Structure 1
Amino acid sequence: MKVCFFAGVKDKSLLTLMQWYANDILILRDLGFDVTIATKWSEIPWNADLYFAWWPTKGILPLIKSKLSHKPVIVVAGGTEVVHSYNLEYNFTNSGLLKKKTIIFVLNNATKVLAISKAAEKEIKALVSKANIETVYLSVDTETFSPVAGAKKDIIFTISHLNKENIYRKRILSIIRSARQIVDKFPELKFVIAGRKLDGFEQVVDEVKRLSLSNNFIFPGKISNDEKIEYFRRSLIYLQPTLHEGFGLAIAEAMSCGVPVVTSKVGAVEEVVGNCGIYVDSNNENEISNAVISLLINPELRGEMGKCARERIVENFSYEIRKKRIETIIDGVIALHYGGKK
């Protein structure tokens, strides 16, 4: 059967860098489907047997073609576009009327909506009543994202595109300000913040300079998947105090590499981290720095937490778990629409 995988990104190379897209493309192919990848209207085929789209705002395009061709469409939903219970600048509540109507229309008319977490499912159900929705957690390739015995651990690592939205939501400036107290105790420590240098990067650099931390911060920009894994394996701690996460894939990837995490109990983070991390108030820089210092001075605790983190991801969020869930859901959609399995 032919499946159209749709993600509305401008650059197709991002599909391999953004692991949530890459995993689902691989899952669909592993399940034996003939997969066409589309990122714009003109690339969406009319003859697909099933459309599989990421995000309601982007999923409107394949949904239109699915309705006109009388084919089923599955939409993955979550992230800030469905969030309304958190006070975020870029959430559903603060979206324009057209964007809101698009999101609601797609959620109500998709054959099946896959929420990326229970937290996301709750947000969606508060927006719409008609959605045919199930939670299917994102996945981590636990064989690729894995610890390496004897690896040198020498950095505090964070991943975030450095645009204004993510700088605010992932509290990048709070990380920098908390680093001042940490560096006073560990002057040689390096903080690595990876991600594209976008419209907020200058503000980030200015804050680093203001606090005289230029020797302690590294901004490698956009990194490859292999580079990301290497940074995880070098990490003493993965640091992501955040205002909201629809899932928290980077957190899960770090945990899969056996890295202890310092994060915040918001959105879906607790679903992912459980009791295998340290939670902080993302607005409290002293709390962030104290949590990091507590792990830096206690290698045994770091080791125990990293082991716990790895086991939790393998048991609950592996690639195979998501693959089986998607296979079951697609079989159900196909049986309902076509009267049989693929």
Structure 2
Amino acid sequence: MKIAVVLSESEYFSPTHGGACSIWVSEVYYYLKDMYQVTIYVSPHKNEFDSFDIVYIHNYKYLKMFKKILPKKIFRKLKSLYNLSAAKHIGTNNYDVVHIHNRPEYVYNMRKYNPNIKIILHMHNDHLIKYSSKELYKICSLVDVIVGCSKYITSNIIKAAPEFKSKCYTVYNGVNLKTFNKIPIKEQYNFPIILFVGRIVKQKGLHILIQAFKEVLEMYPSAQLYIVGTAKATSRFKKNSYLKYLEAMSADIKDNLSFIGSVPNKSLATYYSIADVFVCPSIWEEPFGMVITEAMACECAIVASKTGGIPEVVGNAGILVDPNNVDALKSALIRILCNSRQKTTYGSMARKRAEDLFRWENIAKNFDILL
């Protein structure tokens, strides 16, 4: 069987620069590429997974130069040249299956130039249900399988398009249990460490976490909050406004808070291993939360928002709190920090849950059934 995997025009197929889609594809197809002939379609930028057959779609690389000078509508139309090129190339190479990630709009050209191919549309977010009813119906009609990264995503698609329920499946994201494994170095840090990993954007709820952390400091004055991740700059010389806001609101606790910046994937296990608590304080409907599975695999005690697909990931192996609730978040953090036995128990439960549900080999088997 020949499978074409189409990543979005802006996705880096890279362990350091790529997002959840890139990691999912590299991990799952690692287990499937010996059974099937797999080709990855991607833009030619910062692609570091070299053990795959890759086709580069070059035109988007040059189109990006016009992004800031063209009206959005015109740029969106030009951007469609990426998926048009991919669809045509796939149509001339006799693939059996095309696996499209996170881009429902690619389906139109893909079906036009590949009338008999099996199309799998894989959603890592809720963009599909934001289409008009007419467009949603047409897209769902053109595909053979719709995959959601969580039951939360899949159930929302079914609610929006119940007539296509039989096409909808859930296949979770996963975690590499070898890369993310507890390192015995915590004893070198004799102070409480609270850890956040992710993009520095408002929907991740860092302002809520910092407010809660200030109250935690009243009981644990030596505690440290490590924030791992980057904020997208508004320009080459202008710092992201949300990051500036966070820095201003945390100025009075600057000795207890560190903005670490970007950390290579292979080094993240060190941060998870020294943390007493990993926090995911999202205030939006998080589709899944792959960083949570990484922290779980490293035996972190988890505190996370009860929103989106997060409860499916955490289960009973951590503490769930209402989003946007400073008091609830503070109480959960203190509950972990003041009880070392409970912290260890949550960490062990988290690792077991990661092994049982989110092992990439099992995710690959679950997806293989849909091919």
Common fold, TM-score beyond 0.5? yes
The answer on whether the counterparts of 1:263 and 1:280 sit within 8 Å (CA) in structure 2 is yes
Mapping of residues 25-174 of structure 1, within 5 Å: 25-31=26-32, 32=34, 33-39=36-42, 40-41=82-83, 42-43=85-86, 45-46=89-90, 47=93, 48-55=95-102, 58-61=103-106, 64-69=109-114, 70-82=116-128, 92=130, 104-131=137-164, 132-152=167-187, 155-163=193-201, 167-168=202-203, 170-174=204-208
Task: Name the amino acid aligned to 1:230.
Answer: T
Contact 2:7/2:21 (8 A) holds in 1: no
State the 1:71 CA deviation. Answer: 0.9
Are the equivalent residues in 2 in contact too, given 1:20–1:138 (CA < 8 A)?
A: no
Contact 1:6 1:62 in 2 (8 A): no
Matches within 5 A, 1:145-294: 145-152=180-187, 155-163=193-201, 167-168=202-203, 170-198=204-232, 199=234, 201-211=240-250, 212-243=252-283, 244-294=285-335
TM-score by length of structure 2 reads 0.76
Instruction: Tell me the equivalent position of 1:21.
Output: 22
- Matching residue of 1:86: none
Question: How far off its partner does 1:319 sit?
Answer: 0.8
Computed over aligned residues only, the root mean square deviation of the Cα atoms, in angstroms, reads: 2.5
Q: Tell me, in whole angstroms, the C-alpha distance in 2 between the residues paired with 1:113 and 1:236.
A: 38
Letter paired with 2:113: L
| CA positional deviation for 1:52 | 0.9
Percent identity over paired residues: 22
1:88 is matched with none
Q: Is the 8 A contact 2:318 2:346 kept in 1?
A: yes
Asked if 1 retains the 8 angstrom alpha-carbon contact of 2:101 and 2:121, the reply is: yes
Structure 1 residue identity aligned to 2:39:
T
Which residue pairs with 1:89 in the alignment?
none
Bigger Rg, which one: 2
Structure 2 Cα separation of the partners of residues 203 and 135 of structure 1: 33
Deviation at 1:180, TM superposition (A): 0.9
Select the residue among 342, 346, 357 that pairs with 1:301. 342
SS at match of 1:220: strand
Q: Count how many residue pairs are aligned between Structure 1 and Structure 2.
A: 311
Q: Structure 2, unaligned stretches of length 5 or more?
A: 43-81
Conservation of the 8 A alpha-carbon contact between 1:162 and 1:201: no
State the AA in 2 paired with 1:327: D
- Return the TM-score normalized by structure 1: 0.82
- The change in CA–CA distance for 1:231 and 1:66 in structure 2 (over 3 A counts) is farther
Shift of 1:82: 4.6
1:181-239, CA deviations, whole angstroms, 9 ceiling, x for partnerless residues?
11233233221222221258433333343341222222233322112222212211111
**Deviation, structure 1 residue 114:** 1.1
